[in-house]
Amino acid sequence: MARTGFFGSIIRIILAIVNILFLLIGFAVFIAAAILRWSKDSILNKIATNDVLKPILNVTAINDVSLILLILGAFITVLSIIGLCGACCANRFFLGVYEIVIVVLFISHGIVLVVAAFKSGTIENEFRKALNQTVFDVNSDKTDEEYKMERCSALKLISEIFECCGLNGPNDFTNATYVTECCYGSSTDGCGDKTVKSFKENGVNIIIIPNSIVLGLEFLIIVLVPFLIGRITRSRRMYEDVDENERIISIKPTNYQQNYRY
């Protein structure tokens, strides 16, 4: 194991701590995605089993997100193990691979967040449009009764999950019976604003804050790893020079003794 000096040792400790955090995050993301994707009690499963609710909340997109999170959790776990090996063993190969992957990840991470921020408005508009169409179908006299009950059932499920009613509230329905059949409880809040607000609030806690922390840690790693690799390289060169000098010094007395004998 190469000696890296005091500052090099500090950097190795920091990298070890950061990668332990990444390892825990990787496990947490993987487990959360697995629960979201396969648990019978998850919101995703409730949506996936309701044929009418699927187009409203875009279950395909949620399935894609859960799959991406599974892959991301596994990737973070493997990457953190590589980082730990590089930091703890002062291995330049592992650190080099780790640095390259982190740089690519940092750039990709930033691009994905920017794209997601710009597309959030489009997703919100599509959801409101689909929800409005569902309420319209329930109120319309031209809608088949069986189809109307299916749409009403979907609205009631959203109402139960988010404690809301209709798009803007109970007044969206032209018949008081629809309020009872399509809404859960006696909430007067509309599902349009309440659902979007819930996603945005959870988005801050679940997406924005964790991603900001991870981006900061990625940037810290990008700065520290090259410095550590440089310390390891200089340390090895120094000890190679010391070994060479010791070898030369050990040879000289032998030559002198041989010449003295003659």
Q: How far apart are the two ends of the chain, measured CA to CA in Å?
A: 45
Closest C-alpha to 44, from 157, 128, 174: 157
* Rounded-to-integer distance, Cα 34 and Cα 121, Å: 27
Per-residue pLDDT 10s for the chain (262 aa) are: 456 677 888 888 999 998 998 888 888 877 877 776 666 555 555 555 555 555 555 555 555 666 777 787 788 888 889 998 888 888 889 999 999 999 998 888 888 777 777 777 777 888 888 889 989 989 998 888 888 888 888 888 889 888 899 999 999 998 888 888 899 888 888 998 888 888 777 766 667 777 788 888 889 899 999 988 888 888 777 755 555 555 556 555 555 444 544 4
* Rounded-to-integer distance, Cα 13 and Cα 174, Å: 66
166: left (phi over 0), alpha (psi -120 to 50) or beta: left
CA angle (181 as vertex; 179, 184 as ends), nearest 5: 75
* Rounded-to-integer distance, Cα 18 and Cα 141, Å: 61
* Rounded-to-integer distance, Cα 254 and Cα 159, Å: 92
Domain locations in the chain as residue ranges:
5-236
Q: How many CB atoms lie within 10 A of CB 84?
A: 19
pTM above 0.75, yes or no: no
In three-state secondary structure terms, 23 is helix
Q: What contacts 162, CB < 8 A, 6 or more positions away?
A: 191, 194, 195, 198
* Rounded-to-integer distance, Cα 150 and Cα 159, Å: 14
Sign of the four-CA dihedral 82, 86, 87, 89: positive
Closest C-alpha to 182, from 257, 2, 66, 174: 174
